[in-house]
Structure 1
Amino acid sequence: MAKERVLITGAAGFLGSHLCDKFIAEGYYVIGMDNLITGSMDNIAHLMKLEDFEFYNHDVTKYVHVPGKLKYILHFASPASPIDYLKIPIQTLKVGAHGTHNLLGLAKEKKARILVASTSEVYGDPMVHPQTEEYYGNVNPVGPRGVYDEAKRFMESITMAYHTYHDLETRIVRIFNTYGPRMRLNDGRVLPAFIGQALRGEDLTVFGDGSQTRSFCYVSDLVDGIYKLLLSDYAQPVNIGNPGEITISEFADEIIKLTGTDQKVVYKDLPKDDPKQRQPNIKKAKELLGWEPKVSRAEGLKITYDYFKSLDKEKLFQKEHKDFEKYVVK
């Protein structure tokens, strides 16, 4: 009996590659798609030899064609870190708009269920804490982060329109800060930035006074939540994240302790529209999906740190994304 086929866009990215692993482990045939603008073939090199995996190097903002049947589509193609969407703002908007439209059309053609990857950034700099799915957000559409925030908000809107107008089976996951192996160092996100700085013997850079909060979810927990949401019968957005909230200053101290380094913490100006608080309300995920995170931050950080330590020196010291401050709009 032929295996059911799944298309995963953004397959060579951090989350996309872990989703490929998950669906192969669950017995599906996986078609990965990525234009590699921020993804890396290193993330899926271990899959290329498998009979149940194939890869398309393709930009989803162009017409998307996949021959044969598809059971599910998971749309994870998008720049996701501040340095990326501040460097490539037009591409970020296009993948949220044109890319999502193309994949919804493909899902309609194939009669496939589609799950789209939204984000906690739809809440902007929130005035409700913790954030529930019913909160509409506090987003500046013309600020530097607007290209990402509004791309995801449009993604949700067009997905729901296809669900309502075309009766398409759709799912929307709102992803909160996630971490784990295969993240890129120096991409502007706080966790890999801190670990990279510690491994290079640099001081840890905190933007703002460090009182802003984040809630970090280990990647295996997130993937499990996404999988359960896809298989559920719920079409409205669902928060998937770890509600364990911590200030950035406290988190910097945790990284220094974890890495056994003695670097200082240096404080610099907070980027414009950077959210002051971020914590998911996961009541809906618990009740509808029977899901909640299982991996503690201490456990997940140890695994992630060991992964980064295993990288070769060239990757550890590469300068590709160390110019984050150049793109900070004060």
Structure 2
Amino acid sequence: MTKKRILITGAAGFLGSHLCNRFISEGYHVLAMDNLITGQLENIEHLFGKENFEFYNHDVSKFVHVSNDLDYILHFASPASPIDYLKIPIQTLKVGSLGTHNLLGLAKDKQARILVASTSEVYGDPLVSPQDEDYWGNVNPVGPRGVYDEAKRFQEAITMAYHTYHKLDTRIARIFNTYGPKMRLFDGRALPTFVGQALMQEDITIFGNGSQTRSFCYVDDQIEGLFKLLHTDYHLPINIGNPDEMTIEELAKEILHLTNSRSKIVYKNLPVDDPKQRRPSISRAQEILNWEPKVSRKEGLEKTIAYFETLPLEKLINAEKTHFKES
């Protein structure tokens, strides 16, 4: 029996590397693609040498060529953290526009099904909570976060245009905050930064007063939702996330407790356009995908912290230096 062939872009990133693992374990032939601008090759090095795994160092904002047939494409190439997309705004816009256009064209040529990774950031700083898929969002297109928000909104629009005009088989996942092993520490997002600071016994830095909320989904649950979406006959956007909402201050205190850290919490000014609320409505995912998160926040945080505790202290220090250099 011929193996199904799947192209995964952003394959060396956090979610991309977990997707590579999942599809390898499911018996697929995985073509992994990443230009390593934010991805880390060590995330997928364990797959090198496997007969059903190939890696290509390539920027999908340029023409994408793949030999032979393709059954599926997962487009996960994009900077996803504030530090990244504020540092490389043009590349962020290009991968969401030109990159998505290139991959939709490839899917059309190969008659492949394509799933694009959108984000809860399409909702901007929402005026409703929880956010469901019918909410159009509250986005500042010319603010500092606009390069990421609008890249993803355009990505959804062109994907729907290809579905409508070319009858392309498409899927759109709106991914909410996800965490777990292989995240980059100090990447500008609260959870991995708090964990890194707690493990190094440094001050936990909260932006604003900590009352802004987020909802965190463990990576295993996220990957299961994405796997189900790819294999479900539904083309409109679907939220995939955990509706268990908490404040950023509550998150910091929980991480301090779980790490037995002596770190103190300090407060800094809130960045421009930082969302005050983030909580998905997952009724569509429950109904269409028969999916909902299974891993509790405590269990997920314990697994995530345990992973980072296995890293040498030197790696934590280097991650922090990179953070301060880039921010």
TM range (shorter): over 0.9
Q: Which residue of 1 aligns with 2:64?
A: 64
Q: How does 1:194-273 map to 2 (within 5 A)?
A: 194-273=194-273
What CA distance in whole angstroms lies between the structure 2 residues aligned with 1:161 and 1:122?
17
Conserved in 2, the CA contact under 8 Å of 1:212 and 1:277? yes
For residue 284 of structure 1, what is the aligned residue in structure 2? 284
Post-superposition shift, 1:199? 1.0
- Structure 1 segments, 4+ long, off by >3 Å, are none
Paired with 1:49 and 1:298, the residues of 2 have a C-alpha distance of 36
% of aligned pairs identical? 71
> In 1, distance between residues paired with 2:111 and 2:242?
33
Q: By how many angstroms is 1:38 displaced?
A: 0.2
Query: Counterpart amino acid of 2:215?
Result: S
Aligned residue identity for 1:69 = D
The answer to whether structure 1 residue 320 and structure 2 residue 322 are counterparts is yes
| Alignment partners' CA distance in 1, 2:107 and 2:66 | 11
TM-score (ref. length: structure 2): 0.98
- The superposition leaves residues 182-220 of structure 1 with CA deviations (integer Å, 9 ceiling, x where unpaired) of 000111011110000011110100000000000000001
Give the structure 1 partner of residue 145 of structure 2.
Answer: 145
Deviation digits for residues 135-155 of structure 1 (CA, Å, limit 9, x no counterpart): 000000000000000000000
How far off its partner does 1:109 sit? 0.1
Gapped regions of structure 1 (runs ≥ 5): none
Provide the secondary structure at the position in 2 that maps to 1:322: helix
TM-score (norm 1): 0.98
* Partner residue, 2:157: 157
Shift of 1:31: 0.3
CA-based RMSD: 0.7
Distance (whole Å) between structure 2 residues aligned to residue 170 and residue 315 of structure 1: 39
**What is the identity, as a one-letter code, of the residue corresponding to 1:265?**
I
Q: Deviations over 1:292-321 (max 9, x none)?
A: 000000001011001111112222001111
**SS of alignment partner, residue 77 of structure 2:** coil
Instruction: Please name the residue that 2:10 is paired with.
Output: 10
Residue by residue, what CA displacement relative to the aligned partner does 1:273-308 show, whole Å, maximum 9, x if unpaired? Answer: 000000000000000000000000000101100111
Once residues 308 and 137 of structure 2 are traced to their aligned partners in structure 1, the CA distance between those partners, rounded to angstroms, is 34
In structure 2, C-alpha distance between the alignment counterparts of 1:312 and 1:256, rounded to whole Å:
20
**Match of 2:160, SS?**
helix
Q: Given residue 276 of structure 1, which amino acid in structure 2 is its aligned partner?
A: K
Tell me the alpha carbon deviations over residues 241-281 of structure 1, each in whole angstroms, 9 at most, x when there is no partner.
00000000111100000000122110000000000000000
State the partner residue of 2:33.
Answer: 33
Q: Which letter does structure 1 place at the counterpart of 2:314?
A: E
Map of 1:48-197 to 2, 5 A cutoff? 48-197=48-197
Report deviation, 1:322: 2.6
Q: Deviations over 1:146-187 (max 9, x none)?
A: 000000000000000000000000000000000000000111
- Kindly state the Cα deviation for residue 27 of structure 1 after the two structures are TM-superposed: 1.1
Question: Which amino acid is the alignment partner of residue 322 of structure 1?
Answer: F
Counterpart code for 1:301: L
Any conservation in 2 of the 1:187–1:322 contact (CA below 8 Å)? Answer: no
CA contact (8 A) 1:198 1:256 kept: yes
Aligned length: 325
Mapped partners of 1:40, 1:6: distance in 2: 20
Q: Structure 2: how far apart are the matches of 1:76 and 1:59?
A: 12
Deviation of 1:323 after TM superposition, in Å, equals 4.8
Question: How far apart, in 2, do the equivalents of 1:314 and 1:143 lie?
Answer: 36
Q: What SS does the aligned partner of 2:187 have?
A: coil
Distance 2:69 2:194 in 1: 43
Give, in whole Å, the separation in 1 of the partners of 2:63 and 2:315.
34
Query: What residue identity is the alignment partner of 2:52?
Result: D
Equivalent-residue separation in structure 2 for 1:311 and 1:262 (angstroms): 19
